[in-house]
Chain A
């Protein structure tokens, strides 16, 4: 694919302006190394160039990935944890629509992973309605809905379509300089994912170790989210959004973590790499109860239009 040359862009600009104004092989195939600061560092010359021209981007785990991990952890589907589709009509402000687009998007991912075909279409309609109201019709168009209806029994196709729709919404908002709206959608989706995880753990009476691991994993998502918001929002917007998620962040930030060195093990025949090494997090049941309580409180405010 060729990018437009500057001269072509200039021509387009002119017309726009005018119109407008796992490893089981034998050891011989393994390449093993321990990662430390002296290993495989870039040379000084490259380092200097990097400093001059580096651009940094952040992205957070998508609701689909989180839902998939929850299912793998042994979670079972529970309809009562989802945001009721009847709540849709309550959302009148643009802010509330954006936050709940994220919430319904996360619910949609969760439902599709658990093969709840009928509910999938209900929640997709909620996503479409909010996307239309926010002027993102392009990302969730009639064709997307038709393709979903045609593939409703095929989980792989549905998950691919939902992931792609989520990405289209995010890209559309960013391409159109609507970073604040994009941030609200991401925030709503992340809070809902964490709410589902903590509710499922609560339901297991805090016994499901797999779900506990996935909740702890969200500390990385919180850090990424913070960095992403810092890069894309104004100071006032950032301050407003951080007040919503600060209580969750404080709980994650208070965790004590011990890391062991990473070992990189590559199966050169299968061309697959395993990154080994342990991370120990000092945590007790009180933490999980607190994070459930705090997340439920924020999520409740989002779905009842109090934010």
Chain B
């Protein structure tokens, strides 16, 4: 009975501990990469593991310069991010840009873009988890 309680508690606490830790990760490790760009307040921080993909839909306005900053725990392999339009046509991949942690851009008209975080599959005997985060800034 006690074991069952423990398992239930474990299951309930994993997302909470994970999200709190990943929010801290975003704040401490990724936000500083924004440099002179003002944090927009649009952040995605979540737990990932090899083989996981997370998409976030963001609106970017004309007339502003944006920076998308990215960070990931090394434990989950070489994660990277991809920028796509709403029909999932690729615009940019950090993998093709030497795994860059930033993408600086502006847009002629206001548009929605998808930022996809990809944590590639890696072979491991144990389950590996870590944080990934996207933080956006403007100037």
Residues of chain A having any CB pair with chain B under 8 Å: 1-4, 6, 9-10, 12-14, 16-17, 22, 35-37, 39-42, 46, 49-50, 52-62, 64-65, 68-69, 72, 156, 159-160, 163-164, 166-167, 170-171, 174-175, 213-214, 217, 220-221, 223-224, 227, 262, 264, 271-279
Contacts and interface: CB of A to CB of B under 8 A. Distances in A.
Contacts of A40: 89-91, 93
4 closest cross-chain pairs (CB), A and B? A40-B90, A273-B105, A62-B41, A275-B107
A22 B73 contact: no
Contact of B5 (A17, A36, A213): A17
Given A13-B13, A274-B106, A54 B62 contact: no
A13 B10 contact: yes
Interface string B1-30: 000011001100110111111111100110
A220 to B, nearest CB: 4
A40 B5 CA distance: 49
B109 A278 contact: yes
11 contacts: A37-B87, A39-B90, A52-B51, A56-B56, A61-B42, A61-B61, A65-B41, A175-B16, A175-B19, A271-B104, A278-B108
B90 A49 contact: no
Given A1-B73, A4-B17, A224 B59 contact: yes
Contacts of B65: 22, 272
Contacts of B46: 55, 57
A272 B111 contact: no
Nearest to A165: B41
Contacts of B129: 3, 6
A41 B91 CA distance: 9
Given A54-B53, A160-B39, A213-B62, A272 B13 contact: no
Q: How large is the interface on B (under 10, 10 to 19, 20 to 34, 35 or more residues)?
A: 35 or more
B68 to A, nearest CB: 11
B39 A35 contact: no
Contacts of A12: 13, 17
Contacts of B9: 13-14, 16-17
Contacts of B75: 2-3
Which of B75, B85, B116 is the most central at the interface, judged by chain A CB atoms within 10 Å of its CB? B85
Contact of B38 (A35, A55, A160): A160
Given A39-B89, A40-B90, A68-B138, A274 B57 contact: no
Nearest to B62: A213
Contact of B53 (A50, A58, A221): A50
B76 to A, nearest CB: 9
B20 to A, nearest CB: 6
Contacts of A14: 6, 9
A264 B91 contact: yes
Given A1-B29, A3-B130, A49 B53 contact: yes
B122 to A, nearest CB: 12
A37 B25 CA distance: 35
B104 A273 contact: yes
Contacts of A60: 59
Nearest to B107: A275
B57 A227 contact: yes
Nearest to A41: B90
A42 B9 CA distance: 39
A162 B31 CA distance: 15
